A and B are shown apart, each in its own frame.
Chain A
């Protein structure tokens, strides 16, 4: 093909989206820190299970409940990890996604290819979603296995916090529900983290801002005089996952938190797109 023919053929404007997403997926999964992180998340339920097995079996609260039934373990582990560890993983992925690529000098390579700025946001959001999903699933799956092996499942049933029993498949459905709900909360964190990542060239800024933000939210949520702030804080509904262990299943808490997460997603996504359209690479 001669150069003039290059010009006269219809130039494809963009690589296929599927290929871009595949390439992003490979990049995320080849990154050593992603793999280390997933390994650490798989360890969380194992550690809790060991702690419960060797420790005092009449401990109060959620951990105590695990002692009675292994199927409580994955839900407890997800709830504990959602407080700080899972958001940390998502913030790391988002920090690498834009700020990290910019610092590495690879962002301009993508833009010159060219990948349009909107597609770049889609690619990056997909990568963050993958990390959020894999991290949550690692806890859920290993949680179920560790719970069954270490603590055991009396009669193959889940004894709820309310004292009733739920069948094996019903229990798995509830664990799945908590996992999906957790991923939804993480998507909200990821959207905001991506927006910060789109502003800066320093991945550490993203990590610090997200974790600092979550800690501030936690503090604000704990001050009684600021109770009116609660509906606006992403973190205030993060204990709702435990509702899945009650019978009948109260969905209000999780729905509430999901609605709040959606608002954060919309704001975060809009800010990310707005910033990426103007960003220098």
Chain B
């Protein structure tokens, strides 16, 4: 179990310099956008979250993965201060939750457990109501903020219809708009693509990308692995309330890696050459004739030059990287 302390020493140093440069009386830059320290939540006899340690670095897009009931939403709810942890600490922007909520939450936008709005109000009225309780918006800014948020999620045309008549996807978009009413330091999206059509899913992906570019930190929980793979820099995998893996997406995928794939028409010659050299090699599965070289072999350049010297036509050589699907299955099956 690896806690997501993936920040390098250089990054930490850079951040510390940044903090030191800020005027002393106004420092509030947190080390991490969100942290869970030994976080645990018990409902009766059910352990929903079982001692999770997780750091969400500033500016990262963290994909939270896990089967239904793995504790994703409970973890998010504790981070947002919606429910009190049974043990451990939840920190948001460096403030302990739930007590530091008034300091952290104005900078945090969230869509948790689906959109919640009143059916008798229109989309715009619902958003205005949410905007009225946003500390960082002045009264004069509210109409503009609401208009911009509605445009951003593509709801401008339906803004003045009652929420009652919204489709599932439109409801989800409105929930997203509420999280994006103002520039946020951290945006938490719990299953944002639920009920969305492919266009809506693309929109969510675009919005996450925009947030990431603006430097915001994003926590997105999803069961759609492709979504996470496409948009996230970091991943946390939950299983039965425990964190089974966490870290940068690319390094996690690397650890699950299995050897080198060499595409060649001279499969038999390649296999013979490699085996004679004492390298684990076997015939790969797939459409193209390929040889897979095991992880324990010599470094890739040596393997390839050996093959070329023996007269094997190497058409292509690549690392075989599992995709998130395989990694996820592998991780959740190990402990499940």
- A residues contacting B by CB (< 8 A) are 1-4, 6-16, 19-20, 22-23, 26-27, 30-32, 104-116, 278, 280-281
In the assembly, what is the distance between CA of A16 and CA of B135, in Å?
8
Residues of A within 8 A of B330 (CB): none
Name, among B110, B112, B135, B178, the residue most crowded by chain A CB atoms within 10 Å (CB to CB). B135
Chain B neighbourhood of A113, CB < 8 A: 105-106, 130, 133-135
Q: Which residues of A lie under 8 Å from residue B323 when comparing CB positions? A: none
The 6 closest A-B pairs by CB, nearest first: A105-B116, A23-B132, A114-B105, A113-B133, A12-B135, A280-B83
| 8 Å CB contact of A13 from B82, B103, B128 | B103
Q: Can you name 30 A-B pairs with beta carbons within 8 Å?
A: A2-B215, A3-B214, A4-B29, A7-B30, A8-B22, A8-B26, A11-B136, A12-B106, A13-B102, A13-B103, A15-B134, A15-B135, A15-B137, A16-B139, A27-B129, A30-B125, A105-B114, A108-B116, A109-B117, A110-B130, A111-B81, A112-B80, A112-B112, A113-B130, A113-B133, A114-B81, A114-B102, A114-B135, A280-B84, A281-B83
Docked complex: B200-242 residues within 8 A CB-CB of A: 214-216
Contact indicator A104/B118 (Cβ below 8 Å): yes
Contacts of B82 in A (CB 8 A): 108, 111-112, 280-281
Contact (A104, B117) CB under 8 Å given A3-B215, A6-B185: yes
> Which B residues touch A111, using CB under 8 A?
81-82, 101
Q: How far is the CA of A12 from the CA of B182 in the complex (A)?
A: 14
In the complex the two chains form, is B107's CB within 8 Å of A15's CB? no
Question: B154 an interface residue at 8 Å Cβ cutoff?
Answer: no
Most buried by A among B26, B84, B125, B129: B129
Q: Which A residues touch B136, using CB under 8 A?
A: 11-12
Interface status of B170 (Cβ within 8 A of chain A): no
Q: Quick one: CB contact mask for B121-148 with A, threshold 8 Å, 1 for yes? A: 1000100111011111101000000000
Residues of A near B81 (CB, < 8 A) are: 111, 114
Q: Once the chains bind, are A7 and B107 in contact (CB under 8 Å)?
A: yes
Are B129's CB and A15's CB within 8 A?
no
Complex contact B101–A114 (CB within 8 A): yes
In the complex, whether B265 has a CB less than 8 A from a CB of chain A is no
| B7 at the binding interface (Cβ < 8 Å) | no
Q: Which of B18, B27, B77, B216 contacts A3 (CB 8 A)?
A: B216
Residues of B within 8 A of A115 (CB): 133
In the assembled complex, the Cα of A115 lies from the Cα of B130 at a distance in Å of 10
Whether A14 pairs with B102 at a CB distance below 8 angstroms is yes
A109, B130: Cβ atoms closer than 8 Å = yes
Q: Say yes or no: B183 contacts A1, CB within 8 Å.
A: yes
Q: Is the CB of B28 within 8 A of A23?
A: no
Which residues of chain A have C-beta atoms less than 8 A from B30's C-beta?
7
Task: Produce 1/0 per residue, B96-120, CB < 8 A to A.
Answer: 0000011101111010111111101
Question: Which chain A residue has the least Cβ–Cβ distance from B128?
Answer: A23
Q: Which residues of A have CB within 8 Å of B214? A: 3
Chain A residues with Cβ below 8 Å from B128 are: 23
Which A residues are in CB contact (< 8 Å) with B107? Answer: 6-7, 11
Which residues of A are found within 8 Å of B134, using beta-carbon distances? 15, 113
Q: Least Cβ distance of A31 to chain B in Å?
A: 6
- Closest Cβ of chain B: how far from A167's Cβ, in Å? 45
Which residues of chain B have C-beta atoms less than 8 A from A1's C-beta? 183
Taking CB as reference atom, which chain A residue is nearest B28?
A7
A residues in contact with B129, CB < 8 Å = 23, 26-27
16 more A-B contacts (CB under 8 A) besides A11-B28, A15-B132?
A8-B23, A11-B103, A11-B135, A15-B133, A15-B135, A23-B133, A32-B120, A109-B117, A110-B130, A113-B130, A113-B134, A114-B81, A114-B102, A114-B105, A114-B135, A281-B83
Which chain B residues in 9-37 approach chain A with CB under 8 Å? 18, 22-23, 26-30
A74 to chain B: closest CB distance in Å?
31
Encode contact with A along B69-85: 1 for CB under 8 Å, 0 otherwise.
00000000100111110
With most chain B CB atoms within 10 A of its CB, the pick from A4, A104, A110, A114 is A114
